[in-house]
Amino acid sequence: MTAYILRRLLATIPVMIVVALFVFFLLHLTPGDPAAVIAGDDATPAEIEGVRRKLGLDRPVWEQFGVYVMNLLRGDLGTSIFSNMPVMTLVMQRLEPTLVLAIATLTVAVAFAIPMGVVAAWKADTSVDRVVMGFSVLGFAVPVFLVGYILIYIFSIQLRWLPVQGYRPLSGGIEGTLRSITLPAFALGMTYMALIARITRASMLEVLSEDYIRTARAKGVATPSVLLRHALKNAAIPIVTVIGIGFALLISGVVITETVFNIPGLGRLTVDAILKRDYPIIQGLIILFAGAKVLVNLLIDISYTFFDPRIRQ
C-alpha cells in the first residue's frame, strides 16, 4: 500500500515540471502586455519600454524562466504586478471561500444526487425514473448564472431570507458562512447533482443486473439492504471518480458562481489576473490548480483500494 502511494507521488513530479514549462511559455506567447496597461493611456512608447524594463519583461525568456523556476523551488510564487502583494498571500486570502464553496456544493450535490440516482435505477423506466432524469437534463442544460439569478430573485429579493452576495468567513461564525454559501452551493450544485445522479443511475443499473443481486433478492434480503449494502457499494467506483473529478473542477472552475454571488475566491482571482495580464498570479494559480488536481487524483486512486480490495494487490 505504502509502495503504491509512493509510486503515485513520484509520478506527480514530471507532471508538475511539464505544467510549469507549459504555463510559462504559453503565457509568454499570449498577446497582451502588462507594461502597456501599467504605463497608462497617455504613455509614450519609451515609457512603456521603461515599465517593461522595470518588470524584467525585457530580459530573454530563458532568463525569465530561470528566475521563475528558482523562485518556485523556494516556494515563492512571485508578486502581483498590480497589487504589489505576494501571490501566495493573495491565494491564501481566496482559498477559504473557494474551498468552503467546493465542499458545500459537493455536499449538496452528493446528498441529493446519490439517493436520486439509486431511486431512478431501482424504479428504472417508470415515471419516477423519468422525473429524475428530466431533472438531470435540466441541471446540465440550465446555465449556472441563470439558476443563480433565479435563486437571488426568489430567496434574496422577494423573501429576503438569504444575502444576495458576499462571503462571510468562518472566523465570523458558521451561521454567517452557511447563510452566505447556501445559494451559491445550490446554484453550482445543480450541475453536479445532474452529473452524479446520472452516473449513479447508470452504475447502479449495471450492478442491479448482476447474478449476486438476483441471489440476494431470491434469499429474501430487504430492498433497502439490496440497494445500499450490495448494489451501491459495488457501484461506487465510477461515482467516487466523478465526485473526485468534480471536486478538482470546482476548485479551479467556479468563476461564474463566484462572480454572480460575489464570492472572493480563486476562480475570480484567476480571471481578473488573465484580463490584466498579471503573469505572476496566473502562473502561480495554474501551478497550484495543477497540484490540487494531481492530489485529488491521488486521493481517488487511494480510495479505490478501499472499495475494491483487488486493486491493493
Partner 1 sequence: MRIRSSILKLGLAAAAALLTVSPSVAQQPKVLRVTMHADVRTLDPFWTTQTIAGIHGMMIYDTLFSSDTNLKPQPQMVDTWTVSDDRKVYTFTLRDGLTFHDGSPVTSKDVVASMKRWGHRDGAGKQLFGYTASLESKDDKTFIWSLKEPYGLVIDTLAKTGTSIPFIMREKEALTDPFQQIAEVVGSGPFVFKRDEWVPGSKTVYEKFKGYVPRKEPPSGHAGGKVVKVDRVEFTWLSDPQTAQAALVAGEIDYLENPQPDFLPILESNPDIKLESHAAMGTMGLIQFNHLHPPFNSVKARQAMLYIVNNADYLNTIAADPKLQRVCFSYFGCDVAMETDVGSEVYKGPKDYKKAAALFKEAGYNGEPITILHATDHQYINPATLVLVQQMRKAGLNLDVQAMDWGTVVSRRAKKEPPAQGGWNIFITGTTVLSSSSPVTHVGISMGCDKAWFGWPCDAKYEEVRGKWAFATDLESRKKIAAEISKMAYELVPYVSFAQWRNPVAYRSDRISGVISVPSVPPMWNIEKK
Binding flag, residue 275, partner 1 (CB under 8 A)? yes
Nearer to partner 1 among residue 44 and residue 209 (C-beta):
44
Report yes or no: 258 and 268 within 8 Å, Cβ to Cβ: yes
Nearer to partner 1 among residue 85 and residue 222 (C-beta):
85
Binding flag, residue 12, partner 1 (CB under 8 A)? no
**Segment contacting partner 1 by CB under 8 A, of 107-115, 131-139, 145-153, 233-241:** 145-153
Measured between alpha carbons, how far is 291 from 72 in angstroms, rounded to an integer?
A: 13
Query: Least CB distance from residue 35 to partner 1, whole Å?
Result: 9
Among 1, 2, 3, 45, binds partner 1 (CB under 8 A): 45
- The CA-based diameter of the chain, rounded to the nearest angstrom, is 85
Burial of 241 (0-12, 13-18, 19+ CB in 10 A): middle
Give the binding-site size for partner 1 (rule: CB under 8 A). 47
Neighbours of 303 (CB within 10 A): 17
Report yes or no: 194 and 112 within 8 Å, Cβ to Cβ: no
Nearer to partner 1 among residue 37 and residue 294 (C-beta):
37
Measured between alpha carbons, how far is 259 from 243 in angstroms, rounded to an integer?
A: 23
| CA-closest candidate to residue 107, choices 176, 178, 202, 171 | 178
Q: Which of residues 157-216 bind partner 1 (CB under 8 A)?
A: 157, 160, 163-166
Report yes or no: 38 and 279 within 8 Å, Cβ to Cβ: no
Q: Which of residues 77-106 bind partner 1 (CB under 8 A)?
A: 80, 82-85, 90, 93-94
**Torsion sign over Cα 305, 98, 246, 272:** negative
Binding flag, residue 272, partner 1 (CB under 8 A)? yes
Among 1, 41, 175, 220, binds partner 1 (CB under 8 A): 41
Report yes or no: 187 and 148 within 8 Å, Cβ to Cβ: yes
| Three-state DSSP state, 79 | strand
Binding flag, residue 48, partner 1 (CB under 8 A)? yes
Among 64, 156, 241, 303, binds partner 1 (CB under 8 A): 156
Query: Least CB distance from residue 115 to partner 1, whole Å?
Result: 32
C-alpha cell at 135: 431533472
Binding flag, residue 37, partner 1 (CB under 8 A)? yes
Q: How many CA atoms lie within 13 A of 191 on its CB side?
A: 22
Nearer to partner 1 among residue 15 and residue 99 (C-beta):
99
**The cell 438476483 sits on which residue?**
214
| CA-closest candidate to residue 257, choices 89, 83, 104 | 104
Nearer to partner 1 among residue 160 and residue 310 (C-beta):
160
**Segment contacting partner 1 by CB under 8 A, of 60-68, 171-179, 265-273, 295-303:** 265-273
Nearer to partner 1 among residue 94 and residue 201 (C-beta):
94
Report yes or no: 91 and 75 within 8 Å, Cβ to Cβ: no
Cα 132 to its chain centre, rounded Å, is 24
Nearer to partner 1 among residue 71 and residue 93 (C-beta):
93
Euclidean distance between the first and final Cα of the chain, in Å?
A: 8
Among 236, 260, 286, 288, binds partner 1 (CB under 8 A): 260
Query: Least CB distance from residue 101 to partner 1, whole Å?
Result: 14
User: Which residues contribute to the site for partner 1 (CB under 8 A)?
Assistant: 31-33, 36-42, 44-45, 47-48, 50-51, 54, 80, 82-85, 90, 93-94, 149, 152-153, 156-157, 160, 163-166, 259-262, 264, 268-269, 272, 274-277
